[in-house]
Amino acid sequence: MSHSPLRFAILGFGHHAVRRLLPAFERSEQAVVTGLWRRNLEAARENCAEHGIAHCFASREELCASPDVDAVFITSPDAMHRDDTLLALRHGKAVLCEKPLAMSADESREMDEAARAAGLLFGVAQNFRYNRSVDYLEEQIAEGAIGAAQLAHAEFSYPAQRSARRWIADGTLACGGPIGDVGVHCIDTLRYVLRSDVVSVSTLASRDADSGDVEAVASMQLEMTNGIFATVTVSARAAYRTLIEVTGSDGALLAENGLTVDRPVDVEQRLAG
């Protein structure tokens, strides 16, 4: 029995959608992009024509109300996620929202509660949970390959000053600098591979001339359940690099490029020093 593909509309279409999402949808047999909306309507029309997208919606409301849309993929700036999600849910649409989910924990809870009350699927695009390397780390740690986990570290660095997303340095639109942009991936990945939650956070961060209202470089120390101490380091002013490493009582696991989709991942296991 064949099923029609799930029809997504992208709300907040921009650089991320062109670079990451459309190539992925093109390879999917179960989902298709049927429409989009972006703040610049003329640019939206050009995107629809270039990529063969059927519906170029004139407003967020038109997109969310359309009978030709089954689910809404929200890729708007961070500060818009709450309102965009609640709008889609009011129109009975399932929602997949980009990270960070919202500008605060209270907003995130409000969005989650609205989805539960409506009985609609609601997810956040923490895509690195689906990396084979991340799954491998989670499996190995759970099986005791390095003994009891004690220390963990995740790093995500990239040159944000060259990013096409100019709004990421605007504190009214972005939920922080690299902490909100990529640090959320680091934190979520550590929670996942360690099967552990964050108890407390302490942070050092600095701004520079290009970072606007948000930080440019930061280091966070996380106290986690199961007696694990972790650090997350992020930079918006360094060459692209991602790393995950966990030290246990009997060894260590390292994944260079562990949080990337652009290059091969090297996973290394060290035992007895």
- Residues 38-78 have pLDDT tens digits of 989 999 999 999 999 999 999 999 999 999 999 999 999 99
CA distances from 246 to 9, 130, 134, 141, 189 (A): 38, 19, 12, 9, 12
pLDDT score, position 156:
97
**pLDDT the model gives residue 19:** 87
- Specify the pTM: 0.91
β pairing state of 31-37 and 6-11: parallel
pLDDT of residue 163: 74
Q: Would the pLDDT of 190 be above 60?
A: yes
Using DSSP's 3-state secondary structure scheme, residue 24 falls into helix
Interatomic CA distance for residues 131 and 265, integer angstroms: 10
| Structure confidence by residue, pLDDT tens digits, 227-238 | 999 999 999 999
At residue 2 the predicted structure's pLDDT band, cuts being 50, 70 and 90, is: low
> How does pLDDT run across 3-48, given as a tens digit for each residue?
789 999 999 998 888 888 999 999 999 999 999 999 899 999 999 9
Residue 101: pLDDT over 90 = yes
pLDDT band at 210 (very low <50, low <70, confident <90, very high): confident
Beta bridge partners of 7: 32
pLDDT of 1: 52
Mean pLDDT of the chain: 94
Q: Which of 3, 5, 54, 2 is nearest to 29 (CA)?
A: 5
| Domain covering 6-125, topology | Rossmann fold (3.40.50)
CATH of domain 128-271: 3.30.360.10
What confidence score (pLDDT) does residue 63 get? Answer: 98
Question: pLDDT band at 273, cuts 50/70/90?
Answer: confident
CATH 3.30.360.10, the chain: domain bounds: 128-271
| 147 pLDDT higher than 80 | yes
The CA distance from 46 to 64, in Å, is 21
Side-chain half-sphere exposure of 134, counting CA atoms within 13 A: 24
For residue 120, give the 3-state DSSP assignment. Answer: coil
∠ CA 112-114-115, rounded to 5°: 65
* Three-state DSSP class for residue 133: helix
Residue whose pair of structure tokens reads 């500008």 in the numeric block: 103
Concatenated DSSP letters of 65-91 = H-TT-SEEEE-S-GGGHHHHHHHHHHT
pLDDT at site 211: 87
